[in-house]
Structure 1
Amino acid sequence: MPDLGVPRPGVPRPGVPRPGGSEPQWAPAGGVRFAGGVPVALVAPGAGLASLPAAVGDLAALRHIDLDGNALTTLPGWIGSLERLRVLLLYGNRIAALPPGLGRLTSLEHLSAGRNALTAVPDALWRLSRLRSLNLAENEIADLPPGLGRLRELRMLDLGHNRLREVPAEIGDLPRLTDYLYLSDNGFTSVPASLGRLDRLGYLNLADNRLAALPETIGGMTGLHELRAHDNRLTTLPETIGRLTGLRELHLRNNRLAALPEAIGGLRALRHLDLRGNPLERLPDSVAGLTELTHLDLRATRLSTLPGGLAELPRLEKLDLRWIKFDEVPACVRPLRERGCVVLL
């Protein structure tokens, strides 16, 4: 299942000068880029390659390889001889294992191996201490070794759509993880308390798992601007969630929440709140403090009334109340509609 609402971040594709040398015969037309007559990039996405020509191993100056969307089933061990390589893009192939030689690519900054056939990650990967982005999504990975914590330069980590049984506590040892952390669609039942140490992370996706609770330490993730935890089994939210004062989007659709903590009113930057499909019986009065809120989705909840303070939310543009069996129309509906808010009943 794809992540909804937010596109997956692309890996930077650095520009390279026009060819100044002769292109190897094995290469797809225009696939080798040169600088000063020296091959520095192999760019051949979707070229139908079933294997990586051995001659690539002789191109010692290569800095960039893009083989997304080919038909590769293996990655040769000699890949480790390309010690200047900074970008390696292998998304959408059929690779079943990453070779130990990968650990010799000590200059590598971006590795994308999503949508392959990986079932495990070699320990050699944790030696890539300069990695800034790592995409292992859409594989069959069940376990991650604690070595993950050595990738201390990571800004973006995508582990979504795998079969992870648990999230290693060492994930909290990634101090530069700032952009994205995808853990969606795996199947784990908890996340470690160490997650709270990622105080610079902006986007966290925990959707489509089996989480019954979020850790109390989540309040330490003060850099979050978007949190997706929809389609889990959450029954409560920790009071510490109110410390996420920079949070702009909170997606909690299809959980088991019967109530929200009063601390929810502390999310003063919140713009989008999705509570659809929860057995909510009431909203705390503190939601009247969400003065930046523009969209509130309460569809298919068990609410019988709404706080009057909703009518005072100055930026609310859409309030979705469909599939709720109110005894009477909530008092806030009329004033909201009169000032232009779309209210769906």
Structure 2
Amino acid sequence: MQTTSLACCFLLVSLCFDFSQNETSAPLRKQRRRMRYRGLRSSSAGHGSPRMKLPAPVAVAPSIPLVNFDDSVMGVFDSLIGLGGHESSYSVLPGKKGHCTANGMIMYDKAVWSPKPCVTCLCSKGEVICDTTMCHPLKCPKTIIPEGECCPVCSDTASSLDSSIISLDDVSELSGDSPEPNDLDNANVLSPAPTQTKKDEQFGTEVVEFKEKESNKKDKKRKRKSKKNRQKSKAHYREKKPITRKDAAEEEIQDESDEDDGTFKMTSHFPIPVPPIQAPPLPSGCSTSDTTVSCINAKLTQIPPISDPDLTSLDLTGNSITTISDEAFNGIPNLEWIDLSKNNITSPGIGPQAFKSLKKLKRLYLDGNMLVHIPTALPSTLEEIKINDNHLHAIDEDGLQDLKNLVTLELEGNKLSEANVSPLAFYPLKSLSYLRLGRNTFRIIPQGLPATLEELYLENNQIEEVSEICFNHTRNINVVVLKHNKLEEHRIAPLAWINQENLESIDLSYNKLYHVPSYLPKSLLHLILIGNQIERIPGYVFGHMKPGLEYLYLSFNKLTDDGIDPVSFFGAYHSLRELFLDHNELKSVPFGIDEMRKLRFLRLNNNKIRTVPPERICKAHIIDDDHENSEEEENEESLLEHVHLENNYIKTRQLSPHAFPCIRSYCSVVLKPQKSK
């Protein structure tokens, strides 16, 4: 009965051979190919045991459909032999009709797999039917089994196939997951299965023995070519089979797991994520906003560890920080502004490389600390440095080296003098324009000032002299502040600054001047002489100035009527805008004010003035019949807007109605209160 069934199946297979090649659907072909490769893969790698070198992989044979007794297609086999294989002893799963189990794995009805090379199995209604590839006998003296096939061929034919021979190990790389090769041997037999004839069994045994002999001869050769042939097989496999997303993902994972000796390696497609290094949280009292961290009065004793490359501003004002280590700013290399004012930082507490890594730093504030010298190795990108109110007692010639981009330098409130500041200290500062050295102990103006200097502040020193060489190299100087020093007019050299072409503002307030200094710069616009002992304004003292003095402040001096000549303001009539003569000893309005056609602000308060005669502040205008002359006179009308005359001895009720004809609004004239004896 079994023989008859086998013959019928074989005849049916032969008749449907051509039909199956054209009509078999693509999904079934893909399923068959995956199951076959998975079976080959498992057959070459057991449970930790060495791989068995079988030289005969699955034969490349035409595909035929496997037809059930009800004429339904159950699967596809790669064999020219029908169902004449051995039936395996796989158990039927209870309660799941039609399912099979293989080494603990569930096989659904009609599932196809290859448990070992040249063997293909089918799950049919709960029973496992396996098919072993059978080979036809050959009549040749010498045979050989080419790699990639299950049956031997004559040696002459095999020589032409050497270029395509691959080992079983190489083919196994294309397989997927399947039961192990020894599953059939270890399974329990539950029911007898149909068998082949004795002749077929004997022939199959001889073939296996022949395969083993050939395998031993070529074992070393396969090892050398294993990796190269594996790559060829994969490439050939990709060309023959359309790859879907799912198949591609399975193949990538399978390829990575097929390394030598089964060693596990992480695929490069799925790198292990490295968790970000989180910086310690900011201390209490600190706040952050965009690119700024502010820790004002936060009771810090050290610079907090911060790691933020985007941070550009750090404000640590008003803490108790004493040291700055070399690594203090390593986590914030892009800082542009640091404020460390009002701390307890000392010079020994600053590391020699503390600021060296800050390649973008532009502003550094160290006011109100305990530094005795300027920190070393400051970045050359600095544009502004403030070290006011420290204990600096010296600046040597290397103290400010490499600061070629420095624009502003503030060193007020220290212990600097001409004795401890090198004449070459400011030489490296090729861009310096703003220098503050107030509240130090200079007795003369420092030497070696940069040629680029525009503003110099030396207030609250002990300067007694302005020599004729102190500004020789500063041709761009614009502002000089020398208030609260010990200058007298005869200690100012005639050639000290008279030839300066850009010097527009001089502040000589609170010195020891007795009259307005002569030989002032011809470019001067602002002259501040508040708080001296000036009794006199010499005639023509402003006559050489071009374009002319605009602001003259002589408040809190000792000017009297005799100290102001009719020509004292000569040279400033056409330019003066503000004139402060308050808090002096004037008894009358000085002559010449009515000639100041651009004057807007006049202060004469807190003097001893008793009256304001007509035409003393506002000039009388005689309107001519000539239209052009009257228009010219109108254009020359005073622009005076504010007049202060309070705290004098003026009797306001006795003032002439023509005292302020040029004032457009009387609310601009301040007359109250007045003093009385």
Equivalent in 503, 507, 510 of residue 177 of structure 1: 503
Provide, for residues 190-246 of structure 1, a one-character-per-residue CA deviation record: whole Å limited to 9, x for no partner.
343212x434x3322101011121232224444433211011122232424263333
Q: Aligned pair in 2 of structure 1 residues 109, 278: CA closer, same or farther (>3 Å)? A: same
Q: Distance in 2 between matches of 1:153 and 1:137?
A: 20
Superposed displacement of residue 122, structure 1: 3.3
Superposed displacement of residue 68, structure 1: 4.3
What residue identity is the alignment partner of 1:192?
Answer: P
Provide, for residues 270-319 of structure 1, a one-character-per-residue CA deviation record: whole Å limited to 9, x for no partner.
22211122233444523124732222222233445544323422144232
Secondary structure of 2:597's match?
Answer: coil
Secondary structure of 1:214's match?
Answer: coil
Say whether the 8 Å CA contact 1:26–1:53 is kept in structure 2.
no
Once the two structures are overlaid, the 10-residue window that deviates more, 137-146 or 282-291, is: 282-291
**1:291 match:** 638
TM-score by length of 2: 0.40
**1:333 match:** none
Secondary structure of 2:435's match?
Answer: strand
What residue identity is the alignment partner of 2:674?
Answer: W
**2:446 match:** 122
Equivalent in 373, 376, 389 of residue 52 of structure 1: 373
Instruction: Kindly report which structure 2 residues correspond to 1:74-85, keeping only aligned pairs within 5 A, or say none.
Output: 74-77=393-396, 78-82=398-402, 84-85=404-405
Is 1:248 equivalent to 2:577 in the alignment?
Answer: yes
Once the two structures are overlaid, the 10-residue window that deviates more, 71-80 or 302-311, is: 302-311
In the alignment, structure 1 segments of 5+ residues that lack a partner are 1-16, 327-345
Instruction: Kindly report which structure 2 residues correspond to 1:11-22, keeping only aligned pairs within 5 A, or say none.
Output: none
Q: Aligned pair in 2 of structure 1 residues 90, 145: CA closer, same or farther (>3 Å)? A: same
Superposed displacement of residue 104, structure 1: 1.6
Superposed displacement of residue 136, structure 1: 0.6
Secondary structure of 1:265's match?
Answer: helix
Superposed displacement of residue 24, structure 1: 5.0
Superposed displacement of residue 71, structure 1: 1.1
**2:460 match:** 138
What residue identity is the alignment partner of 1:263?
Answer: G
Q: Distance in 2 between matches of 1:269 and 1:72?
A: 48
Superposed displacement of residue 265, structure 1: 0.7
Once the two structures are overlaid, the 10-residue window that deviates more, 267-276 or 309-318, is: 309-318
Instruction: Kindly report which structure 2 residues correspond to 1:206-221, keeping only aligned pairs within 5 A, or say none.
Output: 206-215=529-538, 216-221=540-545
Is 1:231 equivalent to 2:556 in the alignment?
Answer: yes
Higher RCO (C-alpha 8 Å, min separation 6) = 1
Say whether the 8 Å CA contact 1:297–1:321 is kept in structure 2.
no
What residue identity is the alignment partner of 2:487?
Answer: L
Q: Distance in 2 between matches of 1:165 and 1:41?
A: 40
- Bigger-Rg structure (1/2): 2
Secondary structure of 1:194's match?
Answer: coil
Secondary structure of 1:287's match?
Answer: coil
**2:595 match:** 266
Secondary structure of 1:288's match?
Answer: coil
Superposed displacement of residue 37, structure 1: 6.5
Q: Distance in 1 between matches of 2:564 and 2:470?
A: 28
Say whether the 8 Å CA contact 2:596–2:638 is kept in structure 1.
no
Equivalent pairs counted in the alignment come to 300
**1:61 match:** 380
Say whether the 8 Å CA contact 2:589–2:616 is kept in structure 1.
no
Secondary structure of 1:134's match?
Answer: strand
Q: Distance in 2 between matches of 1:51 and 1:104?
A: 21
Instruction: Kindly report which structure 2 residues correspond to 1:196-207, keeping only aligned pairs within 5 A, or say none.
Output: 197-199=521-523, 201-207=524-530
Equivalent in 397, 410, 413 of residue 90 of structure 1: 410
What residue identity is the alignment partner of 2:664?
Answer: P
Secondary structure of 1:66's match?
Answer: strand
In the alignment, structure 2 segments of 5+ residues that lack a partner are 1-309, 314-324, 340-354, 620-636
**2:515 match:** 190
Q: Distance in 2 between matches of 1:141 and 1:193?
A: 18
What residue identity is the alignment partner of 1:50?
Answer: L
Instruction: Kindly report which structure 2 residues correspond to 1:294-305, keeping only aligned pairs within 5 A, or say none.
Output: 294-303=641-650, 305=654
TM-score by length of 1: 0.73
Q: Distance in 2 between matches of 1:157 and 1:310?
A: 39
Q: Distance in 1 between matches of 2:590 and 2:544?
A: 17
What value does the CA root-mean-square deviation take over the aligned residues? 3.4
Provide, for residues 49-104 of structure 1, a one-character-per-residue CA deviation record: whole Å limited to 9, x for no partner.
423355x2x34624424224341322421225335154343253222325123242
**2:349 match:** none
What residue identity is the alignment partner of 1:310?
Answer: A
Q: Distance in 2 between matches of 1:82 and 1:140?
A: 31
Once the two structures are overlaid, the 10-residue window that deviates more, 262-271 or 202-211, is: 262-271
Q: Distance in 1 between matches of 2:394 and 2:328?
A: 17
Secondary structure of 2:618's match?
Answer: helix
Say whether the 8 Å CA contact 2:366–2:387 is kept in structure 1.
yes
Say whether the 8 Å CA contact 1:287–1:309 is kept in structure 2.
no
